[in-house]
Amino acid sequence: MVSCSTPRSTRIRGERARGQRRGTIDRSASSLTPLPVLDARGLRSAILTAVKNPAPAIDLTGAARLVVEDHRAAPCAVVAAAKRTSSGWIHGAGAAGTLSFEEGAPRADLDTPFDLASVTKPITALVMARLARHGSLTRSEPLVDLVPTLANTRSARVSLDLLSAHRAGLDAHGSLYGPLVRGGRVDVEAALVMAADARREDCTGEPPPEGFPPVYSDLGYVLLGVALAQRSGLDLDALVTREVTGPLDLDIGSARILRAKNSSFDARVAPTEIVPFRDGLVRGVVHDENAWALVGHASAGHAGLFGDARSVVRLGIALLEALSGDRRDFLDPDDLAPLVRPRPGGSLLAGFDQRSGDDPSSGARLGPRTFGHLGFTGTSLWIDPDAGFVGVLLTNRVHPTRTALAIRRARPAAYDAMFDAMVEAQRAAG
């Protein structure tokens, strides 16, 4: 017998509880930042970045300033957007603020890497889609087939698809990192068993075909990441590189990966929270406590990736092109369809969320088929397939503390400003 009560809210919880103006062209000197002094490895990385990310045609600094100056939602914000036109893509980007509130802190720029937090989840889902495309797995496979050590847990027979769609009946969160707070060590195998046994008490029996009523769950993606890694025989860092960031040439990766690529990573990355039990300021290491406890400087299925705004936009462009059949080298429309198809019971998809509610975080301009994801650190990606629009907002709103919640008002204003500026630029270009 299957039973499960419907949760009061099914909206995504990338921010779980723990005066708008249009985008403008900004050519002021304050929008420019000096280049850092780089060693040979850092210089090579900077040159490659410049090739991949040419100067944006549309300056969206006004949208970034909305976040930092008008709403005071974070020390810094970087925005990037792209819009599809009849002649190709037009691009925009902008940055505002300093990396921290400390006097003399460096200014954020378009290449500043941020802790993407739960914006990691769409990439994990894309890894699953790529492995399914290769025939390495099927979405309907139960967790136990990939992770036999979880055979005696309550989630053993839950499919990868339901884990990815937040319909496995799992709790939203669990403090797998708890021993670290008490000065102990985390037993990773025991932590994974704890995650797999965190079935909500009101969800019993075998999951129905479409799963239990959706509840956004980090734990499902913790388990999904482990399952994908075990099936492939690679750690998740290597798997993400092989299946997503490598083929798409994205400067997105774990702290370990990005630090190896560019020795200036620690000096350039936006800091996050001051956490006493983690010896103070968290910078250059994942903010999410469970990811930190389980994988350290690597990436987990639910969090752990870092990246810059223009790389995240290029990810969104690849998704739109794949949906329209223009990136069959990466994914076919049929490969991507299971990730973005509407599902019963709520807005949560397999790796993404839909625009929902009366005051959506994606702003007022984007259409009903918009999909994307939020990150707890103040990051977000929204994609409107009908408008051909991709928008990214990266902030470190958890600096110096996660109690700062002004991002909830700032984010929709920033997306409206980005969208308006891109539409205006498209119109002006004829």
10-residue averages of pLDDT along the chain (430 residues) = 42 39 33 42 51 72 99 99 96 99 97 99 99 98 99 98 99 97 96 99 93 98 99 99 99 99 97 97 98 98 99 99 98 98 96 92 97 99 99 99 97 99 92
Chain centroid to Cα 349, Å, comes to 14
Residue with tokens 């200036």: 264
Q: Please provide the CATH number assigned to the domain covering 38-119+238-428.
A: 3.40.710.10
Structure confidence at residue 430 (pLDDT): 74
Distances (CA, A) of 97 to 43, 66, 270, 340, 405: 24, 11, 11, 34, 17
C-alpha Rg value of the chain to the nearest Å: 20
Structure confidence at residue 30 (pLDDT): 33
**Tokens at residue 271, please?**
């800091």
Q: Where are the domains of the chain?
A: 38-119+238-428, 123-233
**Tokens at residue 322, please?**
């794949």
Q: What count of other Cβ atoms lies within 10 Å of the Cβ of residue 191?
A: 20
Q: Please provide the CATH number assigned to the domain covering 123-233.
A: 1.20.58
CA nearest neighbour of 379 among 416, 419, 407 = 407
Structure confidence at residue 28 (pLDDT): 34
Structure confidence at residue 305 (pLDDT): 99
Structure confidence at residue 3 (pLDDT): 45
Q: How far apart are CA 116 and CA 255, in angstroms?
A: 11
CB 375 within 8 A of CB 165: no
Rounded to two decimals, the pTM is 0.88
Structure confidence at residue 126 (pLDDT): 99
CB 343 within 8 A of CB 214: yes
Residue with tokens 């408008």: 387
Residues belonging to the chain: 430
Strands 280-281 and 274-275: antiparallel
Structure confidence at residue 13 (pLDDT): 41
Q: How far apart are CA 404 and CA 74, in angstroms?
A: 8
Burial class (CB in 10 A: 0-12, 13-18, 19+), 134: exposed
Q: How far apart are CA 230 and CA 235, in angstroms?
A: 8
Q: Residues 421, 371, 318, CA angle at the centre, nearest 5°?
A: 75
Q: DSSP 3-state assignment of 414? A: helix
CB 426 within 8 A of CB 88: no
Structure confidence at residue 26 (pLDDT): 36
Structure confidence at residue 114 (pLDDT): 99
Structure confidence at residue 356 (pLDDT): 87
